[in-house]
Amino acid sequence: MTSKERVLTALNLKEPDRVPVGSFATQVAGKLAGINVIDYATDGEKMAIAQRYLFEKCGFDILFPFSHVGMIAEGWGSRVQYMDADASPVISEYAVKRDEDWKKIEPFDPESIDGVKTIVKAIRLLKEWFEEEVFILGVMFSPITSATHIAPLMNVLKQVKRSPDLLSIGLETITESLIAEEMALEDAGADGIFLAVTRATGELLTRKQYETIAKRWDEKLLNRINLPVILHVCGREPFLDMIVDYPHVKGINWWDRGTRYSLRDIKYRFGDRVCLLGGIDQTRTMLMGTPKDVENEARDAIEQAAIGGGFILFSGCDLPVSTPLKKVQMLALASQKYGKYPIK
């Protein structure tokens, strides 16, 4: 199978030739390829070169052309600060400072946003280089998650309670922009959408709050997406049972090593409905562990969730920029060693 065929087979809940492998790999791709953080984030060709490195040198089946949350948030007026070579860029100034400012943000044209243009260029180049050989993800953030890139997270959480009507005005504008962004990613050649619904967790909002203020905008966006969708959720109390029922969702990715929701548990509960992506702890194992730790954790993940198909070996969240090459390569080596079907 090609990498793309392998991934699509898993997303369709079937057994490919072996377990597909990838990761939430952004700046680390640039670091491994010898490209600094700023160039990786602002130059679509260099971003594509770095992602190609993950395929050619690390054996990844999924490529992840993306850098940082500010790439999109700048479209609404937030500003980004670039740090040193081993630090991800951060939002240094938020566009929305007061509740009333949600009335002022406007939908953006993806073709006018430097960050979106960078991603689009990277996807186009990867598609040109690989054609249909590898699976390329377009990365996006849900409306409520995007809101926390336009205003500080704590402000948004307070607005859920004190001014939900004003926040909803902002979410409507955000959703309109995201629909346009998805169309641009699809037109560039993305094979799927990796949608981060990172605020769908009990540490931040109650389930009722999320269903009241955020869910309808998630679903409005998802109903406009034609590509396979993989949802990513952070936190220790993710609302997995809610998001698996979202429209057009083919896969879910969460920090299974850091929550009480193990791969085995979610495979039993939802494995007949959605593909699972996970098994690898991005910090304790990939950053602080040894290559042998990575191999052992990958083998355990495959044993938990790969039987019957519908599983992709993946990190729980973004790989730290300083993750060593040998441990990134070990993901694919472990998949080849332990993940060949049929798995018993």
Catalogue all structural domains in the chain, each as residue range(s) with its CATH number: 3-338 (3.20.20.210)
Q: What is the pLDDT along the chain (344 residues), one digit of tens a residue?
A: 999 999 999 999 999 999 999 999 999 999 999 999 999 999 999 999 999 999 999 999 999 999 999 999 999 999 999 877 677 888 999 999 999 999 999 999 998 999 999 999 999 999 999 999 999 999 999 999 999 999 999 999 999 999 999 999 999 999 999 999 999 999 999 999 999 999 999 999 999 999 999 999 999 999 999 999 999 999 999 999 999 999 999 999 999 999 999 999 999 999 999 999 999 999 999 999 999 999 999 999 999 999 999 999 999 999 999 999 999 999 999 999 999 999 87
Element (H, E) at 230: strand 229-233
The predicted pLDDT at position 83 comes to: 78
The predicted pLDDT at position 87 comes to: 77
Q: Are 207 and 239 in contact (CB under 8 A)?
A: yes
Which residues lie closer than 8 Å to 185 by C-beta, 6 or more apart? 119, 120, 123, 138, 140, 193
Cα dist from 182 to 140, 215, 254, whole Å? 8, 18, 22
How far apart (Å, rounded) are the C-alpha atoms in residues 48 and 281?
A: 25
Which residues lie closer than 8 Å to 304 by C-beta, 6 or more apart? 262, 263, 264, 267, 279
Residue with tokens 């009333």: 100
332 backbone dihedrals φ, ψ, rounded to 5°? -70, -40
Q: Are 194 and 227 in contact (CB under 8 A)?
A: no
Which residues lie closer than 8 Å to 256 by C-beta, 6 or more apart? 262, 263, 266, 278, 279, 316
Q: Which of 321, 333, 267 is nearest to 294 (CA)?
A: 333
Which residues lie closer than 8 Å to 115 by C-beta, 6 or more apart? 41, 67, 70, 71, 72, 74, 75
Give the number of other CB atoms < 10 A from CB of residue 209. 16
The predicted pLDDT at position 85 comes to: 65
The predicted pLDDT at position 82 comes to: 86
322 backbone dihedrals φ, ψ, rounded to 5°? -90, 10
How far apart (Å, rounded) are the C-alpha atoms in residues 163 and 53?
A: 46
Q: Is 260 helix (H, G, I), strand (E, B) or coil?
A: coil
pTM of the model: 0.97
Give the number of other CB atoms < 10 A from CB of residue 208. 8
Q: Encoding tokens for residue 16?
A: 């490919």
